[in-house]
Amino acid sequence: MARKSTVAGVMLAVVSLALTACAGGASGTEAAPTDTINAELWYAPATFDPARASATADVNVARLGFDTLLRQGETEGYMGGLASEWEAVSASEYVFTLRDDATCADGTAISPSVVANSFEYLVGLDDPGAQTWKNQAFGPGEPTFTPDDEAGTLDITLSEPYSQLLGGVTRPGTGIICPAGLEDPEGLAAGTVDGAWSGPYTLTDFSAGVSATYALREGYDQWPAWESVEGEPAATINLTVQSDSNTSANLLESGGVDVARFYDSNALRFEDDDAYNTVTFASSAYNLVFNQAPGSGSVFEGDQELRTAVAQAIDPQGFNDAGLDGLGVAQYTVNSASYACALEEPALLQEYDPAAAADVLDGQTIRLLIMSNWDPAADFLAESLRAAGATVEVSAPDPADWTAQMRTEPKTWDVAVAAENAETGLIHTSISRYLGATYPEGGTNVASTDNPEGVELFEAGMSADDPDEQCENFLAAQRSILERVDMVPLVTDSHRYVAREGFATYVFSGYWDISAMRILS
């Protein structure tokens, strides 16, 4: 067990500069200078409303279109976004001073009232994605927003202490929606409200399931004060949906795309080539989540022995090999070992023991929920359970439906593979997946557990002002989750973004920022 730093070093993709971008990739042919970055998404965005963002693609495009109060620091802590100054008066009161030059895409000044109205919209939504962002930003209680437009300040007071608010308001789902967007929620979600955007880019074209095009706002000057970012922001960003990693690698080599993301061994094709540069970061923590919702029909409700048997039937290294070409790293708790307050007690995890698992699993029927495009990993899990005598029914919907089922449809699954975001540095959000109120009750507990001891420890950590006291309670809460086998850590993936010559992309404090992609010239 070790208390980890909340930040990782800035990993910077800086490529040898050339006055022209090399469109020929490995062929070496040159192209004229460009003002466009072509990049890829694995899945199509389901919404352009940042408050409703749930899948990775939704979150990525939210960062392009909507600015947040604060941003992740380059190497530690936080830096200004729409806020120029901030103060944690206590765990229940925070004060932000807004920069005085920020505007919406239609020219509306981003005042404290604009920010307050956007937050009121977020916390008032009856939507699973919004509940997640609300809890990450403002904790389990009710926030009150008091804007003072004359002074340029926004006071946020909380009905329950929440020590993680500053980190929470860096998250893309808390992006500030401008008044035009709040007046037309349907148009906001569709990306058709020209004045809704507060961030650097506006959506100019969208082909559902295929592509999205963003244009840099004319005169936009609200960038964070990054010191390590080199190059110029693209005037146009073309995002195309590409789920096949082999195709991505081929396109990157040929110049068909400029920046591509990999989770498998295709990334290794570029490691020793000076024409490419790679940034690496923990992207997702893969966990098995047991559905214990009363009345759901799940075989795992009230059956710790059965949950333990599933853990014994699954070899984490086998999952790593099947889903990530063996490039993932060991995980011992609810999220990445790099997080602050991450528990690291391997003895709490069940050893791989298929014979012992078979004694309990033989004859059981288990409904396994996993997202689409993860066929090898799904096959590995299903066959591991079948080898222990279980009948396994696999469901693999797209990310949006996968998220909705896991959060709000407990009668449809027994065990799910949860891809927990590993970039935020906020481990309390991962702990709360297994403690307290469920999504229908306004919380984020996808396992529907009943663990009052863990809840008490978690709430003590949320209320503590002292970082050491926070950590002590968060560690104890994780221990209670693992001892009950409410979830099984599998592996943390290491994602790699590769930029070809003439382009750069950046990771700040372990978080890849799509808005910091740059053209080098």
> What pLDDT is stored for residue 54 in this prediction?
87
* Mean pLDDT, rounded, for 460-471: 88
Distance of CA 210 to the CA centre of its chain: 22
* Mean pLDDT, rounded, for 345-349: 96
Kindly tell me if the per-residue pLDDT of 14 is higher than 80: no
360 to each of 284, 352, 367, 400, 490, how far by Cα in Å? 30, 14, 16, 33, 21
The dihedral built from the CA positions of residue 102, 59, 259 and 79, taken in this order, carries a sign that is positive
Structural tokens at position 300: 């795992």
Report residue 455: phi and psi, to 5°.
Answer: -60, -45
393 to each of 387, 415, 460, how far by Cα in Å? 14, 10, 39
> What pLDDT is stored for residue 43 in this prediction?
84
> What pLDDT is stored for residue 33 in this prediction?
80
> What pLDDT is stored for residue 19 in this prediction?
28
Kindly tell me if the per-residue pLDDT of 452 is higher than 60: yes
Kindly tell me if the per-residue pLDDT of 507 is higher than 80: yes
> What pLDDT is stored for residue 181 in this prediction?
98
Alpha-helical runs (H) found in 362-463: 375-387, 399-408, 427-431, 452-463
Helix and strand element counts for the chain (H, E): 15, 21
Q: How far apart (Å, rounded) are the C-alpha atoms in residues 133 and 126?
A: 12
Kindly tell me if the per-residue pLDDT of 238 is higher than 80: yes
- In the three-class reduction of DSSP (H, G, I as helix; E, B as strand; rest coil), residue 465 is classed as coil
Sequence-distant (≥ 6) Cβ neighbours of residue 144 within 8 angstroms: 156, 157, 158, 159
- In the three-class reduction of DSSP (H, G, I as helix; E, B as strand; rest coil), residue 154 is classed as strand
Sequence-distant (≥ 6) Cβ neighbours of residue 10 within 8 angstroms: 74, 75, 228, 506, 507, 508, 509
For residue range 54-108, list pLDDT tens digits in order. Answer: 888 999 999 999 999 999 999 888 999 999 999 999 989 999 999 999 999 999 9
Higher pLDDT, 323 or 3: 323
Task: Write down the domain spans for the chain.
Answer: 48-198, 284-493
For residue 310, give the nearest of 415, 413, 451 by alpha carbon.
415
> What pLDDT is stored for residue 9 in this prediction?
35
> What pLDDT is stored for residue 423 in this prediction?
74
Kindly tell me if the per-residue pLDDT of 332 is higher than 80: yes
Give the CATH superfamily of 284-493.
Answer: Dipeptide-binding Protein; Domain 3 (3.10.105.10)
Q: How far apart (Å, rounded) are the C-alpha atoms in residues 32 and 52?
A: 39
> What pLDDT is stored for residue 31 in this prediction?
43
* Mean pLDDT, rounded, for 344-356: 96
* Mean pLDDT, rounded, for 414-435: 88
> What pLDDT is stored for residue 21 in this prediction?
34
Bridge pairing between strands 211-216 and 201-207: antiparallel
Domain 48-198: give its CATH code. 3.90.76.10
For residue range 21-49, list pLDDT tens digits in order. Answer: 333 333 333 445 899 999 998 888 999 99
- Measured CA angle at 286 (ends 57, 483), to 5 deg: 140
**Helix (H) or strand (E) run with residue 239 in it:** strand 236-241
Residues 168/137, Cβ–Cβ less than 8 Å = yes
- In the three-class reduction of DSSP (H, G, I as helix; E, B as strand; rest coil), residue 199 is classed as coil
Residues 7/510, Cβ–Cβ less than 8 Å = yes
Residue 80 CB neighbours (<10 A): 18
Kindly tell me if the per-residue pLDDT of 12 is higher than 50: no
Helices 316-324 and 375-387: crossing angle in degrees, nearest 10, is: 150
Kindly tell me if the per-residue pLDDT of 7 is higher than 90: no
Q: How far apart (Å, rounded) are the C-alpha atoms in residues 197 and 66?
A: 6
Q: How confident is the model at residue 500 (pLDDT cuts 50, 70, 90)?
A: very high
> What pLDDT is stored for residue 157 in this prediction?
98
- In the three-class reduction of DSSP (H, G, I as helix; E, B as strand; rest coil), residue 515 is classed as helix
DSSP state of 351: P
Rounded to the nearest integer, the mean pLDDT of the chain is 90
> What pLDDT is stored for residue 321 in this prediction?
94
Q: How far apart (Å, rounded) are the C-alpha atoms in residues 143 and 371?
A: 33
> What pLDDT is stored for residue 272 in this prediction?
85
Residues 65/202, Cβ–Cβ less than 8 Å = yes
> What pLDDT is stored for residue 283 in this prediction?
80
Kindly tell me if the per-residue pLDDT of 3 is higher than 50: no
